[in-house]
Amino acid sequence: MSSPTSTGTAADADRALKAKHRAMWASGDYPGLAADLLPELGETLVQAVGVTRGDRVLDIAAGSGNVAIPAARTGASVVASDLTPELFDAGRARAAAEGVELEWREADAEALPFADGEFDVVVSAIGVMFAPHHQAAADELVRVCKPGGRIGIISWTPEGFIGQLFATMKPYAPPPPPGASPPPKWGSEEHVRELLRDRVTDVTAERRLLRVDMFDRLEEPRDYFKAKYGPMIAVFRSLADDPDRAAALDADLLDLVRRHDQGSGSTVLDWEYLLLTATKRRETVPGPR
């Protein structure tokens, strides 16, 4: 049994970790990156889970609403939740421009402030995968979905470009906190099935490619991410006093782009992701403890 002191220490460590994550995603310009590169993923996920008018939908780790806004366009009642509310302003502006309404809620994916079975549809695209404790996030995702409700998740695969981007940064980054799991593991069908266990049925999983062709020179994807992408910004900040290692990471990232480039005369990258859908069992099975 944990002592009050050890329990308090763990809670303090978790709050510090979540504050660090919030600051990381608030840095750079993730809403701009999502608008530039990821808009089709929102539409893809909304279609995959069949969001329709009258559904109550939760988008977990919604960011600036890449899934939530297309879901709201269907006439569904949508809640966009995220640990980093600094991302909401861009989402609210986009929603207003499109004439759709939805609710924006600050929420930790590992401790959602919603009732059991509150939502008909629970989704997350390139979102819940970044919660550090995968089982806790998966348990919450299932908990807030009603029995018979639909679940849809899009995650970068470990083998794809973004998964390999994280693998490239890992040797240069500070060590992860105890118990944290690598985000791209959510891109493994086996891993997600293990997280959801027999609490869901009708699981479908498909690897797909997102083509990114907005860059010309090989250096441009790396430099774009250095300016806009919170996880990469955090790694380079940690190397601020070590220019040699920062230069080595620059070179490794350029090599990563070169290996994945499909273009001829411009840089074309195919980013692999896993699209997984499932239905929550009508008779729920308790999650692991």
**Mean pLDDT score of the chain, rounded to an integer?**
94
In a domain, 264, yes or no: no
The mean pLDDT of 138-144, rounded to a whole number, is 98
For residue 3, the 8-state DSSP code is: -
- Percent of the chain residues topping a pLDDT of 90: 89
Phi-psi region of 104 (alpha: psi -120 to 50; beta: other; left: phi over 0): beta
In a domain, 252, yes or no: no
In a domain, 257, yes or no: no
The mean pLDDT of 54-75, rounded to a whole number, is 98
In a domain, 195, yes or no: yes
Confidence of residue 11 (pLDDT cuts 50, 70, 90): confident
227-251 pLDDT per residue, tens: 999 999 999 999 999 999 999 999 9
Confidence of residue 30 (pLDDT cuts 50, 70, 90): very high
The mean pLDDT of 118-138, rounded to a whole number, is 98
Residue 284 has pLDDT above 70, yes or no: no
pLDDT score for 177: 86
Query: Domain containing 206: what range?
Result: 7-212+269-280
In a domain, 259, yes or no: no
CATH number at residue 181: 3.40.50.150
Residue 43 has pLDDT above 80, yes or no: yes
Instruction: Please report which residue ranges of the chain form alpha helices under DSSP H.
Output: 4-26, 30-37, 39-49, 68-73, 88-98, 134-143, 161-169, 189-196, 219-228, 230-238, 243-260
d(CA 108, CA 92) in angstroms, rounded, equals: 19
214-230 pLDDT per residue, tens: 999 999 999 999 999 99
Tally the domains of the chain: 1
pLDDT score for 115: 98
In a domain, 103, yes or no: yes
Confidence of residue 287 (pLDDT cuts 50, 70, 90): low
pLDDT score for 281: 96
d(CA 14, CA 4) in angstroms, rounded, equals: 15
What is the number of residues in the chain? 289
pLDDT score for 7: 56
In a domain, 82, yes or no: yes
pLDDT score for 1: 43
The mean pLDDT of 125-153, rounded to a whole number, is 98
Residue 143 has pLDDT above 70, yes or no: yes
pLDDT score for 15: 86
194-215 pLDDT per residue, tens: 999 999 999 999 999 999 999 9
In a domain, 123, yes or no: yes
